[in-house]
Structure 1
Amino acid sequence: MSKPSRDAGIRRPTSLRAAAPHAPQGGHPALRNGLALGLSAAMLAPLAAGAQTATPAAASATKKEETQLPEVKARAQVIDPNPNAQTGVPYKARTSGDARHTRPLAETPQTITVITKAAIDESGVTDLRSLLDAQPGITLGTGENGNAFGDRYIIRGQEARSDVFVDGLRDPGMTTRESFAVEQIEIAKGPNSSFAGRGTVGGAVNAITKQATLDYDFKRLSGSVGSDGHLRGSLDVNHIFTDQFAVRANVLSSQEDVPGRAPSDRRRQGLALSALYEFGKDRELTLDYYGLRAHDKLDLGSYLVGTAPNRTPANPVPPAYVQDQDFLDSKVDTLTARVKWRLDDNRLITSLTRFGTTSNGYIVTGARSATAYSGAAGTTDGAYTTASLSTHNAWQDVTYLAHQTNLQWNHQLFGLKNESILGVELSDHHVVKGTYSITNSGAFNCRTTGTATANNAYCIYDASGAVVSGLNRLMGRSYTQGAWATDWQVKTLALSAMNTVDLTDRWTAFGGLRADRFDYDFSVRNATTGAVTDYGYNDTLWNGHLGLTYKLQPGLIVYGSVASAADINGGESDVGTNSGYGGLIINPANNSIDAAPEKSTNFELGTKWDLMDGKLLATAALFQTTKRGVMEGSGYTSSGTANSGKNRVQGVELGLVGALTDKLSGQLGLTVMKSKVLASATAANVGLPLSNFADRSASAQLKYQFTDAAAFGGTVKYESQRCAGQPDTAAGYTSGQCSQPVPSYTTLDLFASYRFNRAVEARVNVLNVTDKDYYLAAYRSGSFLYKGDSRAVRLTVDYKF
C-alpha cells in the first residue's frame, strides 16, 4: 500500500480506526475535481447506457423533456485531525475522546460539555482556567491562605481542583494547564466516580490530547501578536514516515503581560511529541511526551473594603503590586504509552500507562485593606486608609505512575446487543510539599497599629493617597527553598465494569460499577523540631452509575440517570491538615483517622435532540446532587467536624451546540442552580447557600460565516454574585447578607477572521471589549479578590503548509 497523499486529507480506515462516518474535509483541488467528476460519471452512467439503446424518436423526446438541474456548490473546509469532531461543524463534537463512552454524545445519558479545538482557538484564550470559567455551572476558587499552586475549579458547587484528567487518567497536583496540545476538553457534570474514581463529586474535566495519525500529513504554524506585549507561536506537525509509522509534534512559546496588571506577566514554553506505530492490522503502539514550562509573575489582585455586610471591591482598583522577586512556576514532564489490540471483530483491548513529574513553586504578594497611622506613637492621629502587603509561598513536587487497561467486548446476551467494558486501573500519586525561607530586606514604610513606635508593614498608599514610589521593589525579597513539610501518597487499585444494552429499538440501558481499594499515607514534619508524624489508613470505595434512555424518534431521546461519588478523608494533597479545604481530619483525642468518606448521589432527568442531520445538538437536564458526611472543618480545627455536614444542589442546565443555520454556528449554555446546607456542626449554617456558588451562569460563543472566507463572532459570559468561603460549607452571612461578596459580572469578547487562501487565515480577537473590572473568586476573609484580565487585543495568523 502506498503512503496517502499529504494533501489529500483522506482518512484511511484500518481495523483499529473505523472509517469516518462523513466525507473527508478539504483536499487538493485536483483531487476534489477528480472525485466530483468520478461521482458525476457514476451517477450519469445509467442514463448514458439508456441513451445508447433508445430509439431516435425516444431520444428526441427525451431531449425535449430535459430539465435544468440545480446548481451544486462545494465549499472547501479545513482538515480536522480530531477523530471525535463533527464534520463541518466547528464547535460540535460527535463522540467523546474517552472510549468508555461507547455511544455518541447525543445518546449518552449524562450532561457532558465539550470544548472543541476550533472553539478554543476562536475564543482567543489558551489556558484551561479561562476556558472553564466561561462554562456555565463552573466557578473558580482560591486556595487556602492564597495558595497559588495552579488552577482551581468548582463544578455545580463542588470542589474539583483534583478532578482534572488527561486522556482518562487523573492529573494529580494543582498546576498551570495549557491547551496547545489539547484536541478537545470534556466536562462531565454530576458525580463521576464510576468512571474516574475518588472525588469527582460535582464532575470531572478530561483533556483529550493531540495524537499522531496515519491518516494524512499536515503542518500548521500559528503566530500571534497583541497588546500587553503579547507574543505567541505554536507549531503542529504530523508526518507519516511509512504506512505503519507516524510522528506528531506540537511546540509552544508565548509571553505576555497580564492585561492591565503589568509588570505582572505570563510565559509559557511547551513541547508535545506523539509517535504511532502499527504492528500489523490489529495492534498499534503510541508513545507520547508532554512538557510544559510556565513562568508567571502575579499578584493576588484586588481586595474587599468596607464592613460586613456592606463589602465591595476596592475602587479604584489597586495598581499592580507584584514584587520583582515574585514567581509562580510549573515544570511538567510526562511520558505515556498507549496500546490498542483488536483480538477479533468484537473485542478490543486498550491500555494506557503514564509516568509524570510536576514541580510547582510560588512566592506571591497579597494585599488587604488596612488603616495606617502617621501621628505620634500611641495615638490614632493621622490615621488614613491604605492597603498592606503580605507574602504567600509554597513549593510542591508531584510524582505519579498510573496504568489503565480496558477490554471492550461487543456481544449478544439473551438476544440483546451489549457493549461491555471491563477495566483495571492502578495508580500511585505522591506529593511532597514545603515552603520557602524568605527574607524581606526592604524598609517598612507604614504603621498599621496606633501603638507601634516604628513602621511595621509595607503599604501601597501614603497618607496623601498616592501610590508609594518603587512599589514593585518595596519588599526587597530573597529566599531559599525550605525542607519538606508534608508528604502525601495515595496508591489505588480499581476494578470497573460497564455495560450498554439495547433493550428494544427504543429503550437503551447503561450501568457502571467501580471499586477503588486505596492505601493512604501522610507524613507531617514539625518545622521547629524536625519531628515527623506518620498517618495512614486504607479503605474501599464502591460507586455506580445507572442510566436509561428512550428514543422518541430518530435523534431525539429522553433519559434518566443516577450516579454516586465519594471523597476520601485528606483527599486534597496541597492543604495538609486544614480539614475544611479537603485536608486530613485527625481525631485529637487519640490522634487517629476516623472520618468516613464523603458520599454524594446525583439524579438527573434530561433530553437530547440531534437536529439538522446531526449538526446541531440541543440538551436540557434537571439535576439534584446531595452530599452527605461532609468534612466541614470548624475554622482550622478538626474536633467534632468529621462527617458533620450535608448539602444539596438542585438545578437545570440547557445547552445548544453546532450549526444553528448554514452560516451561524455556536455553543450556548445556561445553568440555574440553588444550593442549601442541610446539616452542619454550626447550627446557624443550616439553610444557607454554599460558598463560592453562583446561582446563575450563562455563556454563548457564536460564529457567523459571512462569506466563504470571512467570519466574525464572539463570546458573552454572565455569572451571578457568589459569596466567598471554604468549600462545601455555608457562605458567610451577616445580618442576612453575604459578608464577602464576589460581584456578578458580564463580559464580552469579539473576533473576526479572514481566510486569504487555502493556506493562510488571520483572526483578530478583542477580549473584554468593555474593559470591565470583574472578579473571579475571593478568599474567605475578602483579603484576596482575583481580578479578571482587562481588555486585550490579539492578531493571529495561521499558516498551513
Structure 2
Amino acid sequence: MKKHVRKKHLRRSFAGSKNWLAVGTLAATVMGAGRQAQAAVPSSASGAAAVPTAGLPVKRINIAAGALDAAIATYEQQTGVHVRINLPQGTVEGFQTKGVSGLFAEDEALQLLLAGTGLSFRMDGASTAVVELRANDSVDVSTSANSVSLSQFTEPLSDIPQTVNVVPQFVMQEQAVTTMRDTLRNVPGISIAAGEGGAQGDNLTIRGFSARNDIFLDGIRDFGSYYRDSFNYDAVEVLQGPASVEFGRGSTGGVVNQEQKQPMLQEAISGSLQLGTNLMRRVTADINEPLTALGPGTAFRLNVAGTQSNVAERDITEVRRFGIAPSIAFGQNSPTRFLLSYLHESENSIPDYGLPYFLYKLPKVNRTNYYGFAEDNFLRTNPDIVTGRVEHDFSVPVTVRSTMRWANYPRDVRITEPQIASKAVFSAIGGEQMAACAPPACFPINYDPNLVRVTRNQIAAKSVEDMIWNQTSLVGRLKLAHVENNFVVMLEGGRERSSPLRTSYTVPTASLLNPNPYEPFDPSSISIRSNTHVSSTSYGLNLLDTLKLTQWLQISGGIRFDYFNADALTDAVGSTPATHVSRLDKQPTYRAAVVVKPRRNGSIYFDYGTSFNPSAESLSLSGNNAALPPELNSTTEIGTKWDFLHDRLNLSGSYFATEKQNARETDPNDTANTILVGTQLVRGVQVAAIGHMPRHFDIIAGYAFLNGRVEKSILNASPWSSLYVPGDPVYGQAPYFISPKGFPFANVPKNSGNLWVTHDLWWRFMGGFGGNYVSARRASSTTMVAAYDSATPVPVTDVPLTFKAIPGYWTFNAMLRRPISDHLDFQANIINLTNKFYIDQPHPNHLVPGEGINAQMGFNVKF
C-alpha cells in the first residue's frame, strides 16, 4: 500500500498542475513568503482536506504558527499520532502553517494544521496519519514534476539519467497554447516541420532526427497523422535521447509523451473562453465529479473543447477543431484501481502549405498569399482512442498495471502544395547539366515575377490507421543484500494497420504575385496514384532496473527485445502491377547509466543507450526498402540536474553525441532504390530551467546547441568529383556529384532557445513575457540548387550551388492576467509582438510562415 501511495503522489506532483489557479495561490505559502494562501479551507464536515476517522479522542493542542515540518513534529508529541509524509524529501520544509490551539480531535487538529497548504491526510489505522497531496489541488512540490506518470520509470526526474523536459499545464494556460505543437516550443532541441506529402499532422525532429512516429499517449504509441489539441493535457513530457529500451522502435532523438487528465476524488469544475483578433473562438470545460454511489474511490471526469480560428497574416487558412474526453476511475486510493477513458478529436480545417521556393529562396510575395483552393482544400481527421487500465498493489512493494487500447485514425485530405518549376536543381544523389530554362517548362530566377506561374501540386489522400495494443508492466521495489532494486518488467504488443488511397489531380497554375484562391477547383485529369494496405504485428519485452548502491551512487540498466513483422500489399494501378512485400525484424536494444548524487538535491549522470529504425517504422513498407535491415543508433550523454528552493526551481544541463549507422540513402545508380551506407552524427549541448516560486514567479527556459553532420555516404568522394554512370548522354561524360559528407541535417537549427517568465505586478495583475529563438536552418541535407540568374546553358561545374535554407528569427509573446473574483479571472495574450515574418515550418518543396501578430482575450473560471 505504501508503494501505491508514493507513486500516486509522485504522479500528482505534476498532474496537479491541471488546476493552475490553485498553483498560484499555493505558491504564496511556499518558501516562507509570509502570505496566506487564498484557497478556501474546507470544513471538517466536508472532508475535502482530510478523510477523518470518527471517534478519535479530543485533546488540548497548542501549536504555534510557523514551519509546517516543525508543527508536525510538535503534533506528534502532543497527540502520539505518527505522521507519515508521502512527499519528496525536503518538500514539507517549504510550507507554513497558521497553527492550532484549543480542544480538538486528533484528525481535526491535523486538518487545521494543513489548512491552506493544498495538502491532505488520511488515517492509516488509529495511530498513523498519512500526509499527501489533496486530490484536486495543484501542489507541484517539484516544479518540473519530479516524476513522470510512465510506468517505464521508477525514479524521480532528478535521478533519471536522461534529458527530460516537462511542460506543465500551468505554463500552457499562461501562454494560451491550444496544440501540442505550440506546447513543444518550450522545449529546446525540438524543431517543427511541415507535413510530408503522405503524412499530415504533427511533424517534428528531436535532436536532429525525425520524431513523427515517436509521439505517445500515456506511454503507448499514438501514431495517427493528425494535429493534437492540448485540451486534455495534464502535461507534455519530452524524453530526449534514444529510448527504444523503454518504448520500442524509433526514438533516435527521443520521444514525446502526452499525459492525459485523470479523474480525481474531489469535485472540481473549470473552463475558459478565448476570443482573438484572428477571429478565434475557443471554449473549454473540465468537469470532475466523485461518484461515491458507485463505490468508494469512484470518480468521473469530462473534458471538452471547441475551436474555430483564422491564422493571422495567412488568408483563407482556417482551423476548426472539436475534442471530447470522458473518463471514469474506480477504486482510487485502494489496492486495485480501474480506469476507462475515451478521447475523440475531430478537425475540419482549410490547411496551409504556405509559399513556394523560387529556386533556392523565398520569392518576394505578399505573406498572405494563398495558392490553394479555398472551397476545395480540406483536412478532415477524426481520431477515436479508447483506453482501459487496471492496476493492483500487492502486499509486497510490487504493482502490476495492464493497459488495453483501441485506436482509429480516419483521415481525408486535399492540400495544395505551391511549386515553381525550375531547371536549376542539382542533387547530391545525381548530377544535371544546366540547360536553357524557358517558360512555361521552367522559370529562371531573373524572369519577370509578374509572369511566373505556380504549379498547384495536389496532395490528396484518404486513409484509416488503426491499432489494438496491450501493455502490461510489473513495477517493484525490493531490497537484496541491503541494496534497493527498483525494477520494471514490461511486455507489450499488438497490431497496427494503415490503408492510404492517394489520388492525383491536374489543375490550372496560379499567378506567383496574385493567386486567386476562389478559382473553381476544376481538374483536367484525375487518377489513382496508389492504394496500399500495410499491417504490422509486433511485441516487445524489456527489463529495467535501478540499483541504489549507496545514498550517493546508483546504477541502472535495461535490455529490450522487439519483434516487428510488417506486411504491405499495393493494388495494381494502371500499368503498374500489384506488389506484395514483407519484412521481419528482431532487434535487441540496451541502456546503461551511472548516477552520482553529491548532494540530496543534485545528481551527475553518465548514460549510454541504443535504438533502431526499421524500414516499416511508419508503416510505409515498399519494394525499395523491404530488404533493408534497421538503421542502428547509439547515444552517449553526460549531464547534471539540480533542485533548489525546496524543489521549486530545477536546473539541468547535458552534453550528448548520437550516431546513426546504416543510414538510408538513395542509390546513385538507381534512384528508385534505397541502400544503407550512411553514418550521421549529432553532437550537442542542452540546458534548461523550470521554476514555480512565490508571487507567481514562474520560469521555463532552455537552450540547445546542435551540430549535426553526415559522416559517411555512398558519395564520399571530394566535392565536384564525378561518378561514372554507364550510358550518360550529357556531353558524353558522366554527371557530376557532390558528396554529402559534412552536410548538416535538414530542419536542425544550430542554436535554439526559449524563455517564458511570469511575475506579480501591481493592482493584482500578473504579467508574463517570453519568446523563442531559432537560428538558420536548411530545408534539405542532400539537395542543392544553382544560385544562377541566367537562362544561358553552362557546364554544371561552373555554376555556384547553394542549399535551400531559411533564416533564423526571434519571436516574442506577452500575457496579462488579473483575478476578478475567487472563481473568475481575465487573461489576455499577445502572440508575435513584433509581427515578425518568419518561416515556421520548412519543407524541401514549400515553406509555411508563422502566424502574424494577434491578441487573445478571455476568461478562466474555476470552482
* TM-score, length of structure 1 as denominator length: 0.83
Residue in 2 that maps onto 1:646: 679
1:232 to 2:285 alignment? no
2:355 alignment partner, SS class: coil
Alignment pair present for 1:184 and 2:239: no
Equivalence for 1:450: none
Kindly indicate whether the alpha-carbon contact (under 8 Å) linking 2:177 and 2:230 is maintained by their aligned counterparts in 1.
no
Q: 1:416 and 2:479 equivalent?
A: no
Partner of 2:559 in structure 1? 513
Residue-by-residue CA offset, 1:241-300 (whole Å, 9 max, x unaligned): 102311000011110012222321000111101101119931111000110101110231
Partner letter of residue 100 of structure 1? Q
Please give the alpha-carbon distance, in whole angstroms, between the structure 2 residues aligned to 1:555 and 1:571. Answer: 39
**SS at structure 2 position matched to 1:472:** coil
1:637 Cα offset (Å): 5.3
Q: Quickly say closer, same or farther: Cα 1:91–1:488, change in 2 above 3 A.
A: farther
- Give the drift of 1:176: 1.5
| Cα distance change on mapping 1:105 and 1:404 into 2, 3 Å | same
- Identify the match of residue 586 of structure 2 among 540, 560, 567: 540
Question: Alpha-carbon deviation of 1:84?
Answer: 12
Write the distance in 2 (CA, Å) between the matches of 1:708 and 1:736: 61
| Distance in 2 (alpha carbons) for counterparts of 1:78 and 1:41 | 22
Residue 791 of structure 1 is matched in structure 2 by: 853
Partners of 1:39 and 1:525 lie apart in 2 by 83
Superposed CA deviations along residues 524-570 of structure 1, whole A, max 9, x for unmatched, are 22321584311112121111111111111120111100011000013
User: Partner amino acid for 1:700?
Assistant: L
Q: Write the distance in 1 (CA, Å) between the matches of 2:699 and 2:144.
A: 8
Output the CA distance in 1 between the equivalents of 2:348 and 2:449. Answer: 41
Shift, 1:182, TM fit: 1.1
Separation in structure 2 between the aligned mates of residue 168 and residue 47 of structure 1, nearest angstrom = 43
2:321 paired with 1:268:
yes
Shift of residue 78 of structure 1?
8.6
Q: Please state how far the C-alpha of 1:472 moved relative to its aligned partner.
A: 2.3
Other-structure match for 1:248: 301
* Residues 728-765 of structure 1: per-residue CA shift (max 9 Å, x gap): x6887978874201211111111111112221011101
> Aligned ranges for residues 398-413 of structure 1 at < 5 Å?
398-413=465-480
The Cα of 1:165 is off from its aligned counterpart by 0.3
Task: Assess, with a 3 A threshold, how the Cα gap between structure 1 residues 84 and 209 changes in structure 2: closer, same or farther.
Answer: farther
> Over aligned residue pairs, what C-alpha RMSD do you find?
3.6
Q: Distance in 1 between matches of 2:713 and 2:540?
A: 32
In 2: Cα distance, 1:39 partner to 1:298 partner: 69
- Give the total of aligned pairs: 721
**Is the alpha carbon distance of 1:533 and 1:148 closer, same or farther for their aligned partners in structure 2, counting shifts above 3 Å?**
closer
Asked if structure 2 preserves the Cα contact closer than 8 Å seen for 1:16 and 1:342, the reply is no
Retained in 2: the 8 A contact 1:220–1:236? Answer: yes
1:484 is displaced (CA, Å) by 6.2
CA–CA separation in structure 2 for the residues paired with 1:200 and 1:402: 19
- Report the secondary structure of 2:415's partner residue: strand
Question: Which residue does 1:63 correspond to in 2?
Answer: none
- For residue 358 of structure 1, what is the amino acid of its counterpart? Y
Output one character per residue of 1:27-54: Cα deviation in whole Å (capped at 9) or x when no partner: 4346499999x99833489999x9xxxx
Change (3 A) 1:596 1:382: closer
Q: Secondary structure at the match of 2:245?
A: helix
Q: Distance in 2 between matches of 1:550 and 1:90?
A: 20
Secondary structure class of the residue paired with 1:526 = coil
CA contact (8 A) 1:690 1:730 kept: no
Identity of aligned residues (%): 22
Which digits, 9 at most, give the CA deviation of each residue in 1:273-328, with x for residues without a partner?
110111993111100011010111023111233x54xx345343252233111101
Task: Give the secondary-structure state (helix, strand or coil) at the position aligned to 1:693.
Answer: coil
TM-score, normalised with respect to structure 2: 0.77
> Does the CA-based 8 Å contact 2:118-2:134 persist in structure 1?
no
- Report 1:320-359 matches (<5 A): 320-323=370-373, 324-359=375-410
Go from structure 1 to structure 2 and tell me whether the alpha carbon gap of 1:772 and 1:32 turns closer, same or farther (over 3 Å shift): farther
Q: Could you tell me which of 63, 80, 86 is aligned with 1:42?
A: 63
1:107 maps to which of 140, 143, 159: 159
Residues 1:361 and 2:412 are matched in the alignment: yes
- 1: distance between equivalents of 2:632 and 2:671? 19
2:5/2:333 contact within 8 Å kept: no
Counterpart code for 2:411: N
Look up the SS of the partner of 2:554 in the other structure: strand
> Aligned residue for 2:815?
751
In structure 2, distance between residues paired with 1:302 and 1:620: 37
Q: Which residue of 2 aligns with 1:739?
A: 803
Contact 2:566 2:621 (8 Å CA) reproduced:
no
* 2:711 equivalent among 678, 682, 692: 678
Residue 28 of structure 1, aligned match among 40, 46, 55:
40
Shift of 1:383: 7.8
Q: How does 1:694-733 map to 2 (within 5 A)?
A: 694-706=749-761, 709-725=764-780
Q: What amino acid is aligned across from residue 714 of structure 1 in structure 2?
A: F
Classify the secondary structure of the residue corresponding to 1:631.
Answer: strand
Aligned partners of 2:680 and 2:708 also within 8 Å: yes
3-state SS of 1:685 partner: coil
**1:368-420 per-position Cα deviation (integer Å, ceiling 9, x unaligned):** 3469979xxxxx99983353433221122111011101101111122201111
Matched with 1:763 is 827
Q: Bigger CA drift: 363-372 or 754-763?
A: 363-372
1:444-459 to 2 correspondence within 5 Å? 457-459=508-510
Partner Cα distance (2:820, 2:629) in 1: 61
Unaligned runs of 5+ in 1: 1-12, 51-68, 375-379, 441-456, 578-583, 587-592
| Counterpart secondary structure, 2:416 | strand
**Could you say what secondary structure the match of 1:632 adopts?**
strand
Q: SS state of the match for residue 666, structure 2? A: coil
- Which stretch of structure 1 is more off in the superposition, 650-659 or 74-83? 74-83
2: distance between equivalents of 1:39 and 1:267?
A: 61
Q: Is the 8 A contact 2:136 2:267 kept in 1?
A: no
Question: Partner of 1:627 in structure 2?
Answer: 660
Contact between 1:622 and 1:653, CA under 8 Å: does it hold in 2? yes
The offset of 1:103, in angstroms, is: 1.3
Give the C-alpha shift of residue 207 in structure 1: 0.3
State how 1:368-387 maps to structure 2 within 5 Å.
368-369=419-420, 384-387=451-454
Are the structure 2 counterparts of residues 234 and 382 from structure 1 closer, same or farther at C-alpha, using a change threshold of 3 Å?
closer
Question: Is 1:317 matched with 2:367?
Answer: yes
What does 1:282-293 align with in structure 2 at a 5 Å threshold?
Answer: 282-293=335-346
2:662–2:679 CA contact under 8 A, matched in 1 = yes
- Matched letter for residue 251 of structure 1: V
Q: How many Å separate the matches in 2 of 1:293 and 1:481? A: 28
8 Å Cα contact 2:506/2:526 also seen in 1: no
| 1:217 pairs with 2:267 | yes
Contact 1:585-1:638 within 8 A present in 2 as well = no
> Given the alignment, which residue of 842, 850, 855 partners 1:778?
842
- Aligned with residue 149 of structure 1, among 200, 222, 231: 200
TM-superposed CA distance for 1:669, in Å, is: 0.2
Partner of 1:564: 610
> Structure 2 stretches of 5 or more lacking a match?
17-21, 27-37, 51-58, 66-70, 78-95, 100-112, 121-132, 423-437, 441-446, 717-738, 788-798
Bigger mean CA deviation after superposition, 286-295 or 90-99: 90-99
